[in-house]
Amino acid sequence: GINAEYGVDLIPYFTELGFPCPDYRNPLDHYIDVVSVDRYTRENQDATEEKLRKLIQDYRRSTLYTTLMRELGKREDNEHTVPWGTEFSPCVLLYKLILLIHRMNINVVRSIRACGMRSTVGLMFALMLFAFILRLKNDQAGMQNRIGLLFQIVNGPTYFGIMNAVDLFPTLRDLFYRESMDGLYHPALFILSYFLHVLPFTTFTSLLFGTVGYWGIGFFPDAGRYVYFTAVFLVLMMQGESIAVMILGLISDPVLANGVISLVMSMSITVGSGFIRNFQTLHPMFEFLSYGSMHRYASSTLAANEFSGLNISCEHEVHCAYTTGEDYLKEAYPDAVERKGEHFSILACYCLLLLIICHVLFSAIRIPRLR
């Protein structure tokens, strides 16, 4: 915001100060670089700030400045300190946050594919499950169908979040690298704005999935359980997005990052869900590792949500494995009902933890890794 030159004689003025314009170079581009702060390294920043202070002082002692002040009828008698950096006032931070979210929303809305993918993936998933199962019954086959459906519901939203982030986040990440190097905003502001931008889309698609999937397929008819069901889907989708953002901060290639993320998620779901193999039958090492998997707490919450109080019919059944939902819970998730709220709280805390990790990661990686 401080003038370093004002007038039509741009090239002669800067040439006299020791900054000639190279041949075949656009003078405006060249002198914008001359009067810009280079924040690539701390040494470069200090050097360019000192250079700019000298340019401003030279300009204020020049005849150009004197003539301009005379024409405007003003004269600045006092020297002012050059305000390097940005003030971290709440109003400025809030304005930047709103601006970043607005820009991200505009970019998504402009793309029909991106907007549709973010908004309707939950509905498409619910319709697919509905077409495959139609309606759940309270018999042994229905019990088996419930277990398979819950496994898919624990598995699906994480990958939907990953899919969205891998497709849409790299462009925003590269833009952040360039703007952050210019000191426009802090990594924490970028990470927070991204997840606040994602949250309304994820909430909308989770509500679509919960409404169509829960009531359409015929899970336990209870409004409170519907809220838990939808909330687990929302949290898992946000966690998938968070994990993808974290890995994309380490690996610039989206294809390679997608492979790494898929491998990590497959291991987490296999060991931590409890639907493939009961925790009691796992090797002690894998059972210990499962406590660090978010899918353990999601599976436990959904199992308690669906099987608690469920009565299973055994009429015309050759083999009756379960007569109530509690029979399955005692076998697979012994303390799921009593700790349902606690397990969901742990699951939700993963979102905050992943958000903090993303902030730390992008704060540490200040140099763009675009190649």
Q: Looking at the predicted structure, is the pLDDT value of residue 55 above 90?
A: no
CB atoms within 10 A of CB 226: 18
Report residue 6's pLDDT band, with 50, 70 and 90 as the boundaries: low
Whole-angstrom Cα Rg for the chain: 29
User: Taking 90 as the threshold, does the pLDDT of residue 65 lie above it?
Assistant: no
3-state secondary structure 17-73: CCCCCCCCCCHHHHHHHHCCCCCCCHHHHHHHHHHHHHHHHHHHCCHHHHHHHHHHC
User: What is the b/e burial string over 90-122, where b = at least 16 CB atoms within 10 angstroms of the residue's CB?
Assistant: eeebeebbeebbeebeebbeeeeebeebbbbbb
pLDDT at 45: 81
Q: pLDDT grade, residue 366 (50/70/90)?
A: low
CA 31 – CA 327 distance, rounded (Å): 76
User: pLDDT averaged over the chain?
Assistant: 84
Compute CA 279 distance to the chain's CA centroid, rounded to the nearest angstrom.
Answer: 31
74-91 pLDDT, tens digit each = 544 444 444 434 445 778
Mean pLDDT of 233-261: 91
Residue (of 196, 193, 199, 195) closest to 93 by Cα position: 193
pLDDT of residue 232: 95
Local confidence band at 234 (pLDDT 50, 70, 90 cut-offs): very high
CA distance 38 to 368: 14
* pLDDT for position 124: 92
Residue 64 is predicted with a pLDDT of 76
Sign of CA dihedral 186, 192, 193, 198: positive
| Confidence grade of residue 3 (pLDDT, cut at 50, 70, 90) | low
> Average pLDDT, stretch 54-61?
84
**What pLDDT does residue 236 have?**
94
Q: Report the range out of 5-14, 162-171, 266-275, 308-317 with the highest average pLDDT.
A: 162-171
Q: What is the pLDDT of residue 117?
A: 86
Q: What is the pLDDT of residue 7?
A: 53
Q: What is the pLDDT of residue 127?
A: 92
Strands (E), the chain: none
Mean pLDDT of 257-284: 85
**Residue 247 CB contacts under 8 Å (≥ 6 apart), including other chains:** 257, 260, 261, 264
pLDDT value of position 80: 46
User: Looking at the DSSP assignment, which residues form a beta bridge with residue 311?
Assistant: 324
DSSP string, 341-352: HHHHHHHHHHHH
